């Protein structure tokens, strides 16, 4: 396989995945590009995170996270409360409505995962996971492109 085909396939895969998820998350009132679904599911896994920890866990920069949290708070899905140990930090928590929405998001992610993995054996999924982790390691080890 040509190396450029790998890049092209990864791009096409991500585009197809987003196209599949977009209508579902839009119907839930969420913006996919801002990481709102990731934020909700991460809070479902462990509530009461600082914005810094949440940004890192979701792979978002501080400005993007802040905008997304503003929208989620306006929608009544999260609440920010003062951090007991820091006057400058806030803890982000799901509201009851946020918890319900996060459960729906998790169901959507599960459906996408089921679709992506359809027709693969457990061994094939293990091999694919190893290959994808190696690709990720290759990218994470780079400082930038050398031209």
- pLDDT above 70: residue 92: yes
**Of 17, 2, 8, 24, which Cα lies nearest the Cα of 108?**
24
Which two three-digit tokens encode residue 71? 């929208």
**CA–CA separation, 46 and 41 (whole Å):** 9
Cβ-count burial of 60 within 10 angstroms (0-12 exposed, 13-18 middle, 19+ buried)?
A: buried
The pLDDT tens digits for 99-108 are: 999 999 999 9
**CA–CA separation, 127 and 132 (whole Å):** 9
Helices (H), 28-77: 36-45, 51-58, 62-74
Is 48:95 a contact under the CB 8 Å cutoff? no
| ∠ CA 21-63-136, rounded to 5° | 55
The pLDDT tens digits for 29-53 are: 998 778 999 999 999 998 889 889 9
Q: Which residue has the tokens 């009544």?
A: 76
The pLDDT tens digits for 113-138 are: 999 999 999 999 999 999 999 999 99
Is 80:69 a contact under the CB 8 Å cutoff? yes
Phi-psi category of 95—alpha, beta or left, where left has phi over 0 and alpha has psi -120 to 50?
A: beta
């Amino acid at each position: 396989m040509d190396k450029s085909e790998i890049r092209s396939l990864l791009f096409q895969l991500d585009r197809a995945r987003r196209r599949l998820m977009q209508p579902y998350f839009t119907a839930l009132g969420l913006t996919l590009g801002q990481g709102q679904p990731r934020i909700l599911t991460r809070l479902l896994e462990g509530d009461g995170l600082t914005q810094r920890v949440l940004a890192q866990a979701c792979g978002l920069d501080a400005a993007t996270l802040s905008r997304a949290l503003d929208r989620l708070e306006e929608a009544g899905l999260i609440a920010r409360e003062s951090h007991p140990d820091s006057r400058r930090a806030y803890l982000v928590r799901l509201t009851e409505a946020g918890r319900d929405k996060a459960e729906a998001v998790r169901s959507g992610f599960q459906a996408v995962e089921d679709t992506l993995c359809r027709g693969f054996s457990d061994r094939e999924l293990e091999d694919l996971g190893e290959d994808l982790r190696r690709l990720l390691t290759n990218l994470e080890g780079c400082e930038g492109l050398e031209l």
